[in-house]
Amino acid sequence: MEVLTNKLTVLKHPLIDHNLAIIRDKNSSSETFKNALKRITYALIFEATKNIKTKTKEIETPVAKTNCEVFDDDYQVVIAPILRAGMIFCEVAQEMLPFSNVHHIGMYRDEETLEPVWYYDKRKKIKQDKSKVQVIILDPMLATGNSGIDAIKNFISKDILEENIVFMCLISSPEGIKRIQRFFPKVQIVTAAIDKELNSKGYIVPGLGDAGDRIYNTPD
């Protein structure tokens, strides 16, 4: 794992590299793509949740009593997949965080302006004490940063603290990272790769193409 700043982590591991190669390969089937993406998701979630709060609980093993650290249920963890590609992260995130709530965010990218268009914002009631809510926004591709910035703004407008928001992605562009950092310097970004650039259509180069199309097998 490479921590570039205290708010930006890029996962570094041979298994991440191997699975990223599978994902990037245009000849990988949708099933192969999804399986490789899920394998990387486990590692991303570990990193994205490294600051969730725990409390001490006494547990009795078959041998002795001992103190263990368990999730502190005074806190609420919200996982927020941006539809539709973010859903692939969500399955693994829910498996690993069974105590979390899912807040679906429906947004698509206007192909001309590259601006996000909202169509869905489904959330569970958020705790009264907003300082105890931790949000992990899930989107495989951090490209222009427009959707990510809108999603972050949405949570901040609901009084979630910027420092309690994590943006988790698979591949990011330097532009997307810079924009999130400029607008929201306290948001933690976790990614598996930072690619070279964006092309004129807002796609990450070399990237993997359209994540949603590759996951759901809906090529043009």
203 binds ligand URA (CB under 6 A): yes
Maximum distance among all Cα pairs of the chain, rounded to whole angstroms: 64
Single out the residue of 141, 160, 189, 190 in contact with ligand URA (rule: CB under 6 A): 141
How far apart are alpha carbons 143 and 141 in whole angstroms? 6
What pairing do the DSSP bridges indicate for beta strands 188-191 and 8-10?
parallel
210 binds ligand URA (CB under 6 A): yes
- Quick check: 189 binds ligand URA (CB under 6 A)? no
The answer to whether residue 109 is catalytic is yes
Q: What is the DSSP letter of 97?
A: -
Nearest to 139 by CA among 179, 166, 110: 166
State the minimum distance, in angstroms, from the CB of residue 76 to ligand URA.
29
Burial 181-193 (b: 16+ CB within 10 A, else e): beebeebbbbbbb
| 41 is an active site residue | no
User: Which residue is catalytic, options 24, 109, 123, 179?
Assistant: 109
From 44, 126, 204, 215, residue interacting with ligand URA (rule: CB under 6 A):
204
Mark out the alpha helices in the chain (DSSP H runs): 14-24, 30-48, 87-96, 146-156, 174-183, 211-216
116: number of CA atoms within 13 Å, CB side?
A: 22
Q: Which is nearer to ligand URA, 203 or 216 (CB)?
A: 203
Among positions 62-91, residues that touch ligand URA (CB under 6 A) are 85
Q: Based on the shown chain and the rule CB under 6 A, indicate whether residue 211 belongs to the binding site for ligand URA.
A: yes
Lookup: tokens for 83: 């539809």
Q: How many chain residues are in contact with ligand URA, going by CB under 6 A? A: 9
CB of 191 to ligand URA, least distance (A): 13
Contacting positions for ligand URA (CB under 6 A): 85, 141, 143, 203-204, 207, 210-212
> Which residues are annotated as catalytic?
109, 113, 210, 213
